[in-house]
Amino acid sequence: MINLWGKIPKITKRVDDLKPYFISTLTMLIVIATTWVFEYSEKQRFEQQSRTYVLNQLSTIRAKLEAGLNSRLFLMQGLMAYISIRPNITPAEFAEMAKVALSQKVNVRSLVLAKGNTVISHIYPLQKNETTMGVNLMALLARGETIQRAINSGETVLAGPIELVKGEGVFISNSPIYVTSLHNPLKTPTFWGMGMILINQNSLFKEAGLLNPKKRLQYALRGRDGLGIVGEVFFGEAKIFHQHPIILPVSLPNGSWRLAATPTDGWPTSAPISGWLWLIGSMLSLMTGILVFTVVSAPVRLQEVVNKATQKLQQAHEKIRNLEQQKYEQLAEHSHILEEKVAERTQELSQILENLKKTQKELIHSEKMAALGQLIAGIAHEINTPLGAIRSSVDNIIQFLTHNLEQLPVFVQSLSPARQQDFFVLVKKITQPKTILSSKEKRKYRRALVRKLEKYDVDNKETIADTLVDIGIYEEIEPFLPLLTAPDAISILNTVYQLSSLPTSAQTIKIASDRAAKVILALKTFVHHDQSGEKIKVNIIESIDTILTLYQNQLKHGVEVVKNYIELPLVSCYSDEINQVWTNLIHNALQAMNNKGILKIDVAMQNEQTLAISITDNGSGIEDDIKPRIFEPFFTTKVAGEGSGLGLDIVQKIIDKHEGTITVESVPGQTTFRVCLPV
């Protein structure tokens, strides 16, 4: 025991000697551990930054893929809408529409229609595709299940990619087409066939940026035939999906793809500044170990040095924290900018769609205003003419009341009782309704009166005959012979004639005001714009007569209007649009006749449920070779500036909207447009 206690001081001294080494080593390990923590944090941050970069690039590619696909798949929507109303589309019509549709689109290999039992009946372009006409799609395509899936679901299914020829892959959109009955919209739509768009795979991927080597990314796509996560990998290497990739879904009609991406060189295993961190950490570790060893060995002398080293260490730590915070803020700022750009683009697309809808709604109203602009000069003339007659009649009445009314009692009192009696008989005569005579009839009665007055030896017979005819007395003048042979006969007749101008002027005012009111009512009815967008009960005959009233100025100078009307029930329709139908058809008829000829309008019941309106002109007629094209938009036979080619296209769309029909029959000297509307 004595020997053991004697060794204790030696052991304690040995421990004290090793203490600086132990503490300095421990300090170096702590610094190394701290450096490892900082390096690991920086590696995690850099990896997150790399994944964010890949996510941004992948989001852009996905947006371009979806936009590219949708812009091309949208081509079939127009064809499907056209076929739904015209199921008997001919190859020539299909080729013309496909040519126009593809004129602004690239990377579409061809458009295909398969009518009936999925047998190819239409294809564009036909060149190099002649052998596929009449082929059954279910037998042609190795993946016929996508066609059956489209038929069963009633929605578009994107198949592929499929290698039609070596080295050329295509995606095929399979869209079932259904035809809805215009006469019975409640009837279940019938299957017409399939519409297909063949999209070049490489061109689509190049446009989306998948084939851009500058991005230093590798991509993979899975979900062949739109089967999403369960589908096969059809682009890139399948192993990419097992390398911790960024994966985004690509939306397809009735399906999806999975788009994956990783850096070409793989995910980073260290941050760019990891080497510097380890270098700094190693140096700090060494310096700290030396300082701690020195401090422990000589606490008093090295205390100040320890404090300075500690301060530098804290500053280095603060710089590292600031650098990490700065990187995080930059990443957040980039994400915010990306979100703002996506929102702005979405807003722009929404505004474009809204403007398109507004333009379509205003097309018919613009056509109406264009027709009104052509009619306005004639309408103004039709209103000014009765207004002129009213003003002239009012002037006559004012003139009589101003110059003759005060003298009338004096004049009557100056007459003898017998002449007063004759005067009042004549006044009573002029207050009775009288027939309006033509100039020819007035001359006939004037000559007869002159002969009678010669027989009774009456002086001033021509003057008296003129006055009697103007008053309305041209038969049985014998009761007035005593008056006519009296010396003051001329004075009495002139006074009666002036009095007769009052009811005549009043009648003229009534007729003229009725005529002006009719024109104004027709104009008001025509320019009325129905904002409700709902059908109302309309009198078809009144609707047609309203348009004829507006065209009265053109009709009265050489056009004979023949109306064959019957009593009709009210018809539910869109009043503004149905007025535009009569406007376009009557305007075309007048132009075909050069405003000279016979315009015949027949209104009859074709059957208990259908009303038929026929508008016939005796113009030059429509040539047989252009007759099938007259309802096409922008087709016109008029010279530049006289027509837009939209008139009959708008008419047909309005009639289709009313579930009616419009046909044309034309031979030289007679053209008839026949409109049938359901009652």
Q: Provide the pLDDT confidence category of residue 300 given band limits of 50, 70 and 90.
A: very low
Q: Is residue 496 part of a domain?
A: yes
CATH of residue 617's domain is 3.30.565.10
One domain, residues 501 and 544 = no
> To which residue do tokens 């294809």 refer?
123
Q: Is residue 375 part of a domain?
A: no
Position 161 pLDDT exceeds 80: yes
One domain, residues 495 and 541 = no
Task: State both tokens at 429.
Answer: 């005569």
Rounded Cα–Cα distance for residues 616 and 600 (Å): 5
Task: State both tokens at 69.
Answer: 């696909």
pLDDT tens across 114-142, in order? 887 667 888 888 777 776 677 676 665 55
Q: Provide the pLDDT confidence category of residue 40 given band limits of 50, 70 and 90.
A: confident
Q: Is residue 181 part of a domain?
A: yes
CB atoms within 10 A of CB 271: 21
Q: 3-class secondary structure for 290-323?
A: HHHHHHHHCHHHHHHHHHHHHHHHHHHHHHHHHH
Whole-model pTM: value is 0.39
Q: Taking a C-beta distance cutoff of 8 angstroms, is the pair 641, 547 a contact? A: no
Ranges 271-285, 546-560, 641-655: which has the least confidence: 641-655
Rounded Cα–Cα distance for residues 679 and 660 (Å): 10
455 is in which domain, residue-wise? 404-518
The set of residues, in sequence order, having a beta carbon less than 8 Å from that of 418 and lying 6+ positions away, is 482
> To which residue do tokens 């020539």 refer?
92
Rounded Cα–Cα distance for residues 122 and 116 (Å): 12
Query: In angstroms, how far apart are the furthest CA atoms of the chain?
Result: 192
Q: Compute CA distances 294 → 23, 29, 291, 300, 442, whole Å.
A: 11, 17, 5, 10, 144
Give the end of a domain, one of 243, 263, 283.
Answer: 263
Q: Is residue 150 part of a domain?
A: yes
pLDDT tens across 336-392, in order? 888 888 888 888 877 876 775 466 455 555 555 555 555 554 555 455 555 555 665
Q: Taking a C-beta distance cutoff of 8 angstroms, is the pair 513, 507 a contact? A: no
One domain, residues 540 and 668 = yes
Position 8 pLDDT exceeds 70: no
pLDDT tens across 593-629, in order? 888 999 999 999 988 889 999 999 998 888 888 888 7
> To which residue do tokens 């309006």 refer?
436
Per DSSP bridges, beta strands 559-564 and 597-607 are parallel
Give the end of a domain, one of 199, 233, 263.
Answer: 263
Q: Compute CA distances 622 → 42, 589, 617, 668, whole Å.
A: 82, 11, 11, 7
Rounded Cα–Cα distance for residues 209 and 582 (Å): 54
| Region 70-97 average pLDDT | 80
One domain, residues 132 and 220 = yes
SS3 assignment, position 91: helix
One domain, residues 91 and 211 = yes
Q: Taking a C-beta distance cutoff of 8 angstroms, is the pair 296, 20 a contact? A: yes
Q: Is residue 311 part of a domain?
A: no
Positive/negative CA dihedral, 9, 11, 14, 20:
negative
Rounded Cα–Cα distance for residues 278 and 276 (Å): 5
Q: Is residue 337 part of a domain?
A: no
One domain, residues 142 and 253 = yes
Highest-confidence segment of 405-414, 451-460, 546-555: 546-555
One domain, residues 116 and 240 = yes
Position 675 pLDDT exceeds 90: yes
Q: Is the peptide bond before 213 cis (omega within 30 degrees of 0)?
A: no
One domain, residues 509 and 596 = no
Task: State both tokens at 133.
Answer: 């006409």
Total number of domains constituting the chain: 3
Q: Taking a C-beta distance cutoff of 8 angstroms, is the pair 516, 387 a contact? A: yes
Q: Is residue 156 part of a domain?
A: yes
Buried-state track 655-669, b at ≥16 Cβ within 10 A, e below 16: beebebbbeeebeee
Buried-state track 185-203, b at ≥16 Cβ within 10 A, e below 16: eeeeeeebbbbbbbbbbeb
One domain, residues 226 and 130 = yes
Q: Is residue 31 part of a domain?
A: no
Q: What is the mean pLDDT of the chain?
A: 76
369 DSSP 8-state letter: H
Identify the helix (H) or strand (E) that includes residue 573: strand 571-573
One domain, residues 114 and 207 = yes
> What's the confidence (pLDDT) of residue 303?
54
> Between residues 128 and 150, which one has the greater pLDDT?
150
Rounded Cα–Cα distance for residues 366 and 584 (Å): 13
The set of residues, in sequence order, having a beta carbon less than 8 Å from that of 360 and lying 6+ positions away, is none
SS3 assignment, position 472: coil
One domain, residues 481 and 567 = no
Position 73 pLDDT exceeds 70: yes
Task: State both tokens at 296.
Answer: 């422990």
Rounded Cα–Cα distance for residues 577 and 526 (Å): 10
Rounded Cα–Cα distance for residues 234 and 557 (Å): 75
pLDDT tens across 212-222, in order? 777 688 899 99
> Between residues 331 and 306, which one has the greater pLDDT?
331
From start to end of 523-622, where are the E strands? 536-538, 559-564, 571-573, 597-607, 610-617
What is the side-by-side strand order in the sheet with 670-678? 559-564, 597-607, 610-617, 670-678, 661-667
Give the end of a domain, one of 263, 278, 301.
Answer: 263
One domain, residues 535 and 514 = no
> Between residues 308 and 394, which one has the greater pLDDT?
308
Q: Which of 567, 601, 554, 604 is nearest to 581 (CA)?
A: 601
Radius of gyration over alpha carbons of the chain, in Å?
49
> To which residue do tokens 């027989």 refer?
455
